[in-house]
Amino acid sequence: MTRTLSELPADLAGKRALVRVDYNVPLDAGRVADATRIEASLPTLRWLLRRGARPVLLSHLGRPGGRPDPALSLSPVAPALAGLLGTEVLFSAPCDGEDALRASRELKTGQVLLVENTRFLPGETANDEALAGRLARLGDFFVNDAFGTLHRAHASTTGVPAVLSPSAAGLLVERELEALSALERPRRPFVVAFGGAKIGDKIELLRRFLERADLILVGGAMANTFLRAQGFETGASLVEEAALDLARSILSAGEDRIRLPTDVMVLDRAGGEGERAGKVEGVENVDSVPADAIGPGMAALDIGPASRARYADALRGCAAFFWNGPMGLFEDPRFAPGTFAIAQAAAEATAAGAFTVIGGGDSAAAVRRAGLSDRVSHVCTGGGAALEYLSTGRLPGLDALTKRIAQTGPGG
C-alpha cells in the first residue's frame, strides 16, 4: 500500500519537503512553452505550503546524458512556477551541492526551492546510492509527485526514499493511480483504442486488455502491422516486420473484438495515378483508399473517413474508454483528422456518462491540441508510466515508497 499525503505526520511546520516533480517541460527561447506539467504539481505544493512545510523540488529536464547542458537547465522553470503558485521560488545549482543544501536549510516558510536538473549528474539514471544520499540531505521527508517518472528506477525516484523517511505519494500520483485502477474492473461496455508505431511496446497491455475489453480499436502505424499480418499489401507504410507473428496471435486471441481500419489516408510517394475518388481536395498526393487497396508507393499515415465514423460510433454508448497512441501522424495537419476524431468521440462519450482515460504521451498532446482536455475524465501525465502500471500493476517509484512503509511502519 502506498502512503498518501494524509498519512504523513500531522505536524509538518518548518519541515523541508523534498518533492520529486515532473518539470520535463518544453522550453522556447529560455521560457516555458507549455506549463501543463507545472500546473499539475500545484495542488501538492499548495497542500504542503498550507501546512507550513518548506518544499524543495527535484526534477529532470530532457536527456542531457549525465552532464550539464545550459539548454536544459531548469532555471527558466523557477519564474514560471512562481507566477503560477503566487510565491517566491528560489533556484540553486547543482542539485547535490553544498549551495543547494545551504539554500534548503535557509529556506523560509512560504518559499519554494527548485534545484538544478537531476540528469546533469550521471548518478541519476544509474540510481547511484551516493547521489541519492546527497539528494536526501535536502529534505526531512520525501514526496513523489512525478507520475511520469515512476517507471524509472533513478536516484531521485527510488534511491531517495530508500534513505529518507517518511515518504509518500503526492496528490497528482494519487489521482493518476485512482483513475488507472478504475480500469482494472471497468464499467461495461469497455472500449480501448490503441495507436502509435509499435506493437512490441504495448504487447503486455494488449494482452491484458484482451481479457477485459469489449472492443479494441487499432490505428496508427500499429494498424499497418496488423493489416500486413492479415495478408494485405501495405506499400511504403511503416510496418513492424518483426512483430507480424505477434500481430497474428493477438488477432487470433481477440477473435471479433479487434477492429482495424477499413480505409486509410495515404501519401502517394509514387506520384499521382490520376484522380481517385478519395483524393483530398487541394492537397497533392494525399488520398483516402480502402485498406485492401494500398498501392506500392503509398504510405498509410492516418485512418480514413469511414474508419473515423466507425470508431466514433463504437464509443457511443460505452461506459468506459481508454486510449493510448495517435491514429496517425497527427503532427502533420493532413494526417490529424483520425486522431482528433477519437478525441472528439471521447469527449462526447464523457458527456454521455462514460469514464474516459487518455493514456498520456501523444494521445494527451492530441487532446490538449484539440482543446478537449477538460472534457474527458482523466488525462495521464505520463504515457510510459501509465502503460507499465496497467500492464503489471507496479511501478519502481511506487515500490520504493511501499517498501519504505514496510520497513519503517506508519509515521516513519
- Residues marked as catalytic: 37, 198, 361, 384
Instruction: Give the separation between CA 377 and CA 65, rounded to whole angstroms.
Output: 36
- Which string of DSSP letters, residue by residue, matches 260-271? --SEEEEEETT-
**Please, which residues have CB within 8 angstroms of residue 259's CB and are 6 or more apart in sequence?**
215, 216, 217, 218, 310, 311, 314
Distances (CA, A) of 105 to 15, 17, 55, 368: 10, 11, 11, 39
**Please, which residues have CB within 8 angstroms of residue 31's CB and are 6 or more apart in sequence?**
76, 80
β partners of residue 92: 115
Neighbouring C-alpha atoms within 13 Å toward the C-beta of 367: 29
**Please, which residues have CB within 8 angstroms of residue 382's CB and are 6 or more apart in sequence?**
22, 147, 148, 149, 150, 151, 176, 360
Instruction: Give the separation between CA 252 and CA 88, rounded to whole angstroms.
Output: 58
Instruction: Give the separation between CA 364 and CA 47, rounded to whole angstroms.
Output: 26
Contact 149, 383 (CB under 8 A): no
Between 383-392 and 361-369, two packed helices, what is the crossing angle to 10 degrees?
Answer: 130
- What is the bridge-based pairing of β-strands 31-32 and 27-28? antiparallel
Instruction: Give the separation between CA 144 and CA 22, rounded to whole angstroms.
Output: 9
Instruction: Give the separation between CA 360 and CA 362, rounded to whole angstroms.
Output: 6
Q: Where are the beta strands (DSSP E) in 152-256?
A: 167-169, 190-194, 215-218
Cell numbers that stand for 376 in this block: 474527458
